[in-house]
């Protein structure tokens, strides 16, 4: 089949792809390990001027200080940093004398984090692993999942994550994480449009990028969808799902999985929660 016919067949798929899919319909799997995409993602993590893959350094500093203080963590205690990325939180916690294990499913981010820790003389354990497959038992005084990483998971995955965290924590341990609210999406809006690019985040060469945002207000869910078509006609669909919460819905979900909310804030720097908060920061314990 010629390239033009392949491209035409990809274009023929677009009308169906631009309709809202059922919630949590998957897109391309493991795209964060794609050779080009993972390099772009790491660069975004490390960019100090944007709140994208990671928050700005000054906010990470504040969050690290607040978490240590709120939990009363002491040097020598063990912390599990889930979705640790390039180790931005892990490094700050290790400098305080905490024994940190970072887990992430991006090989490039884990390699960067390990090299950075070695260069700084920090003793941090990093593992390339899907935290949904975590098997650690009673090894940590606290587990962290920061910057909304809970929200892209579907209900079954969230249940598995909470079971894994429960098993990994020592008696009296805390699970600290944050989730987005509807205010976050209302402020940032949905994207709709297309661009022809010579190179970009998703591909190193020419490609067509179509962006769509889908809102599911009855379920407090929204989707960022990216369709990439290359000159060869190869088509890929990337989907970032987000489950939004209110204080009531996240508290109820945690209760169903035998977690208690010990404290609730507007973010993980300890800012008070308000009706216009974009985030909910939570300190929880297994019930």
> Which domains occur in the chain, in start order?
3-17+188-243 (2.20.25), 47-181+245-286 (3.40.50.150)
pLDDT score recorded for residue 5: 55
Q: Does pLDDT of 130 surpass 70? A: yes
- Residue indicated by tokens 């964060």: 32
Q: What is the pLDDT of residues 140-167, one digit of tens each?
A: 999 999 999 999 999 999 999 999 999 9
Average predicted confidence (pLDDT) for the chain: 94
pLDDT score recorded for residue 1: 41
Q: Does pLDDT of 3 surpass 70? A: no
Q: Does pLDDT of 105 surpass 80? A: yes
Q: What is the pLDDT of residues 199-245, one digit of tens each?
A: 999 999 999 999 999 999 999 999 999 999 999 999 999 999 999 99
Of all residues in the chain, the percent with pLDDT exceeding 90 is 88
Q: Does pLDDT of 14 surpass 50? A: yes
Report the distance separating Cα 171 and Cα 167, nearest Å: 10
The mean pLDDT value for 11-23 works out to 93
pLDDT score recorded for residue 187: 82
Q: What is the DSSP letter of 132?
A: G
Q: Does pLDDT of 4 surpass 70? A: no
Q: What is the pLDDT of residues 33-45, one digit of tens each?
A: 999 999 999 999 9
Structure tokens at 287: 């019930």
């Amino acid at each position: 089949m010629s390239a033009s016919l392949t491209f035409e067949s990809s274009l023929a798929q677009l009308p169906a792809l631009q309709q809202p899919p059922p919630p949590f319909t998957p897109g391309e799997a493991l795209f964060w390990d794609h050779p080009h995409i993972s390099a772009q993602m790491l660069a975004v993590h490390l960019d100090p001027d944007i709140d994208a893959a990671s928050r700005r350094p000054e906010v990470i500093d504040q969050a690290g200080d607040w978490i240590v203080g709120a939990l009363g963590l002491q040097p020598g205690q063990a912390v599990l940093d889930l979705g640790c990325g390039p180790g931005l939180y892990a490094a700050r916690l290790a400098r305080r004398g905490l024994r940190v294990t970072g887990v992430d499913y991006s090989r490039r981010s884990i390699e960067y984090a390990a090299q950075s820790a070695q260069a700084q003389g920090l003793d941090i354990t990093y593992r390339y692993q899907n935290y949904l497959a975590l098997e650690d038992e009673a090894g940590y005084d606290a587990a962290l999942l920061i910057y909304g990483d809970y929200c892209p998971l579907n209900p079954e995955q969230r249940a598995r994550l909470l079971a894994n965290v429960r098993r990994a924590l020592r008696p009296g341990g805390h699970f600290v994480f944050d989730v987005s609210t509807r205010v976050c999406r209302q402020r940032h809006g949905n994207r709709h449009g297309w661009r022809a690019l010579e190179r970009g985040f998703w591909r190193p060469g020419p490609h067509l990028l179509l962006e769509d945002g889908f809102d599911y207000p009855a379920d407090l869910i929204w989707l960022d969808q990216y369709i990439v078509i290359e000159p060869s006609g190869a088509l890929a669909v990337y989907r970032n799902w987000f489950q939004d919460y209110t204080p009531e819905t996240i508290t109820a979900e945690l209760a169903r999985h035998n977690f208690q909310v010990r404290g609730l804030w507007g973010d993980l720097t300890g800012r008070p929660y308000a009706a216009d908060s974009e985030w909910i920061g939570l300190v929880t314990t297994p019930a």
